Amino acid sequence: MTTDTTTLKTPEPTADTATGTGPLYWTVALGGVATIASTFLSWTYTAEFPGDLTVYGYPGGLQVLTLVAGALLVLFALAALDTKGLRWLTPAGANKPLKLLALGAFGTTWYTVLAIAVELGGLVNLEPGGFVAAVATLIPLAALRLPDDARPLSRPKELPSWAEILIIVAAFAIGLYAVTYGIDTEYPELFIGYLITLGFAVAALIKAGLVQRFSALTATYRGIAVIAAFVAAAAFPFTQSTDQYTLIAVNILIFATVALGLNVVVGLAGLLDLGYVAFLGVGAYTAAIVSGSTASAFDIQFPFWAAVLTGAVVSLIFGVVIGAPTLRLRGDYLAIVTLGFGEIFRIVMLNLDGESGPQITNGPNGIPNIPDLNFFGYDFGEPHTVLGMELGSYANYYLLMLLAMILVVLVFSRAQNSRIGRAWVAIREDETAATAMGINGFRVKLIAFALGATLAGLAGTVQAHVQSTVVPEMYQFAGPVPPNSAFLLAAVILGGMGTISGPLLGASLLYLIPAKLEFLKDYQLLGFGIALILLMRFRPEGLIANRRAQLEYHETGQLDVPQQQKLTDDPAAGTAKAGA
């Protein structure tokens, strides 16, 4: 007689049977469906509100953002209900992402409803679809009752190489579309709604663990990820029909490149430089003087490559000359001296007008009529047809600045991982200890100061040709429009000091948001200050922080001694407990 040893496997518990949260997930999913359906209704009867929200059956303007938020809600709610099919969307837990997405859909929709009421003069201007949308986004708020289900990231199921590469390509394509959509927003209401939706969506993806998994993929296929990122960035001009928004993208790249140069000084070496924008001005003025401008005091015209090298070298010289006597100071004293240098540069440029000083910079009038770059017969000021599409003049400068930023990224990454880069980090953490270990602190800091100045000067040479004029007011410590020293420093801190992608992200946000919200005028600085306060409170290490900063600013418990049961003074009892 044989015994059947086959045992039945217990089915894996679902979200409903394991935690009893199934009804809440279904509520969130149904709320998401209702939110999507509301976007196909008319929200207002007049086309005076931008975006034309009067059409039935076709979402427009801010309705599209509500549609996206609703679709993400449904997708993640189904991922929480399904243990196998869509669960790959929530490797670190589903409840926190659902809460964030519910708040995002609620915030975007109610912002739209209130904006309609304020701009058109009351809730009477809402069509039934607007009320349906407002009520529909209240339903997913049931997710706020979900318990915390955060869990450590598990090793994902291995996919074929082609599938992982396809995921990387698709992610960068989605990123390109999201960035393009934000830059191309035509009115402030749409841009504010875009920021609300994007902010909650990105936070949800981080909490779900998808960003960490994507980072692991890019680390595995680093070469392919770099190529995909470059292709996505280079494809931006081909998505534009005019140069209106390409100019914004060019200025973002200039601002981001200068911020990355400042990251060498502040993020790696720990030197608080409050006059860094002056080096950008040195490069710009140098390029303006030697590039054949009709207003230049010198009748010379260098070719493009020579003008770029001249601007970078002059900035390097200024960096050494200014750094040599000041870098023996530390902390606040160094910050005050560099702040003074930035203001001295601006005042000197004002006084070199032929009256208060030699005629070199035309004083407050600056140097206008800077000619467009011409590189081997390629005129950057003329449109060109590439791959069957016509690219305007700013598209040419965008691609040039993209190459310059890649060069700066390469220099930064090589310097960061070199012996001198490790010396910078040692100086930043504890200069006294680093000096005691044999590091020449003054020489190391001077190298960082000179390198940062060179990178800023390189960006300044391109900025002079893009703007076609340079004036002293462009290089202040603080002002409503970047780049200036305050915004550059904020970009490094906001993005994450000591990283590559952090300052790039911080600079992009700090340039794009003021450019899109010009109607706020002086209130921009108020919002900027409030945002920095909130950032320092909830994420002091920056949006994209390195591991060292995360350990420094947050209590991780990694160094805590595991709690063990105390042994009694009786050796026998202690031995028994230890053996147990």
Domain range list for the chain:
18-150+157-229, 243-515+522-553
- In which band, very low, low, confident or very high, does the pLDDT at 479 lie, cut at 50, 70 and 90? low
Residue 247 one-letter amino acid: L
Which long-range contacts link 151-155 to residues 24+ away (Cβ below 8 Å)?
151/92, 151/93, 152/92, 153/91, 153/92, 153/209, 153/212, 153/213, 154/91
Residue 572 has pLDDT above 70, yes or no: no
Q: Is 133:43 a contact under the CB 8 Å cutoff? A: yes
Neighbours of 150 (CB within 10 A): 12
- In which band, very low, low, confident or very high, does the pLDDT at 9 lie, cut at 50, 70 and 90? very low
Q: Is 62:108 a contact under the CB 8 Å cutoff? A: yes
> Whole-angstrom Cα distance, residue 286 to residue 549?
37
> Whole-angstrom Cα distance, residue 76 to residue 71?
9
Residue 7 has pLDDT above 50, yes or no: no
Which tokens hold the place of 526? Answer: 């108020």
pLDDT tens-place string over residues 514-542: 888 777 777 777 777 787 787 778 777 77
Which has the closest alpha carbon to 106: 31, 178, 22? 31
> Whole-angstrom Cα distance, residue 218 to residue 153?
17
Which tokens hold the place of 40? Answer: 């196909």
- In which band, very low, low, confident or very high, does the pLDDT at 551 lie, cut at 50, 70 and 90? low
Q: Which residue has the higher pLDDT, 148 or 180?
A: 180
User: What average pLDDT does this structure show over 376-391?
Assistant: 76
Least confident of 25-34, 177-186, 515-524, 542-551: 542-551
Question: Mean pLDDT over all residues of the chain?
Answer: 82
Which has the closest alpha carbon to 153: 203, 81, 209? 209
> What pLDDT is attached to residue 15?
46
Q: Is 73:35 a contact under the CB 8 Å cutoff? A: yes
Four-point Cα dihedral 515, 195, 543, 238, nearest 10: -60
Q: Quick one: how many helices (H) and strands (E) in the chain?
A: 22, 4
pLDDT tens-place string over residues 224-266: 998 999 999 999 888 887 788 888 889 889 988 888 888 888 8
Contacts of 383 (CB under 8 A, 6+ apart): 390, 391, 392, 393
> What pLDDT is attached to residue 480?
61
Tell the residue number behind the tokens 């010396």, with chain if given: 423
Neighbours of 364 (CB within 10 A): 12
User: Model pTM?
Assistant: 0.81
- In which band, very low, low, confident or very high, does the pLDDT at 477 lie, cut at 50, 70 and 90? confident
Q: Which residue has the higher pLDDT, 295 or 455?
A: 455
Residue 568 has pLDDT above 50, yes or no: no
pLDDT tens-place string over residues 271-318: 888 888 899 989 999 998 888 887 777 878 888 888 889 999 999 999
Tell the residue number behind the tokens 């310097």, with chain if given: 415
> What pLDDT is attached to residue 34?
94
> Whole-angstrom Cα distance, residue 519 to residue 395?
26
Could you give the percent of the chain with pLDDT greater than 90? 21
Tell the residue number behind the tokens 């309609």, with chain if given: 116
Residue 44 phi, psi dihedral angles, 5° rounding: -150, 155
Q: Is 233:501 a contact under the CB 8 Å cutoff? A: no
Give, in degrees to the nearest 5, the angle at Cα 353 between 350 and 357. 90
Residue 69 has pLDDT above 60, yes or no: yes
Which helix (H) or strand (E) covers residue 516, if one does?
helix 501-516
Residue 153 has pLDDT above 50, yes or no: yes
> Whole-angstrom Cα distance, residue 487 to residue 68?
32
pLDDT tens-place string over residues 31-61: 999 999 999 999 998 888 888 888 888 898 8
Which has the closest alpha carbon to 391: 252, 233, 248, 236? 236
pLDDT tens-place string over residues 409-454: 888 888 888 888 889 888 888 888 888 888 888 888 899 889 999 9
Matching CATH number, 243-515+522-553, of 3.30.460, 2.40.128, 1.10.3470, 2.40.160? 1.10.3470
Contacts of 202 (CB under 8 A, 6+ apart): 211
Which helix (H) or strand (E) covers residue 244, if one does?
helix 244-263
SS3 313: helix
